[in-house]
Amino acid sequence: MIYLTENELLKIYNLKGLSKSLEMVKDAFCLGCFTGLRFSDLSELRLANLKQNFIELKSKKTRDFLGIPLNDYAKEILKKHDGNPPMMISNQKMNDYIKDIGEIAEIDNPIILTKYQGATKIEKSEPKYKFLSTHTARRTFVTLSLEKGMRPEVVMSITGHKDYATFKKYIKLTENVKLAEMNNAWNKPNV
């Protein structure tokens, strides 16, 4: 499951010199990373859904009402577009452009793919940007929100996840977070 680290997300967010169409896709993708919205909900987002500090909408997939708090990054993206959500394009075209943006931003850590042909294990390495898609934004939001200390139930209420089993599939903690948590819990106190 692919998600962006905070550093990778900020590299994309701060990317300059893109064409107008890539800039629009970058902003829409980053808005998804900072709010956890699905592509289908980003596509339906209108000015009427934007309140002072919240996005309020009915999820297209689940039909549930969502109240999503706007953080500073999301507000900055909306302000850049005169208070409107960035213009959306088709999911397929957006996925192509997100890969281009990832390549420009040098999101190229190797990702190892494992396939099996019968009993033979075949591994192939590809740069991370080749796996970026609109859904990466939602996974990034969940993972980074948890890493930053948001409680799972708060993140679930923002993303609209109803059960923990589904939500758990989104959780990917970095090695640094695991190390810090382990050290905090189990290292000997300095006396």
- pLDDT tens digit string along 35-89? 999 999 999 888 888 988 999 888 877 777 888 999 999 999 999 999 888 999 9
- Is 191 part of a structural domain of the chain? no
65-69 and 54-58: which strand pairing? antiparallel
C-alpha dihedral (8, 62, 78, 75), degrees to nearest 10 = -70
Does some domain include residue 1? no
Query: What is the total count of domains within the chain?
Result: 1
| Phi, psi dihedrals of residue 56, rounded to the nearest 5° | -120, 120
Residue 170 domain flag: yes
Beta bridge partners of 122: 115
The CATH number that applies at residue 131 is 1.10.443.10
CA-wise closest residue to 144 among 177, 184, 185, 101? 177
- With respect to residue 56, please indicate whether it lies within any of the assigned structural domains: yes
pLDDT digits (tens, 9 = 90+) for 147-156: 898 888 899 8
Domain range for residue 60?
Answer: 6-186
Burial class (CB in 10 A: 0-12, 13-18, 19+), 35: buried
Q: Is 142 within the bounds of a domain? A: yes
Are 55 and 117 in contact by the 8 Å Cβ rule? The answer is no
pTM assigned to the model: 0.85
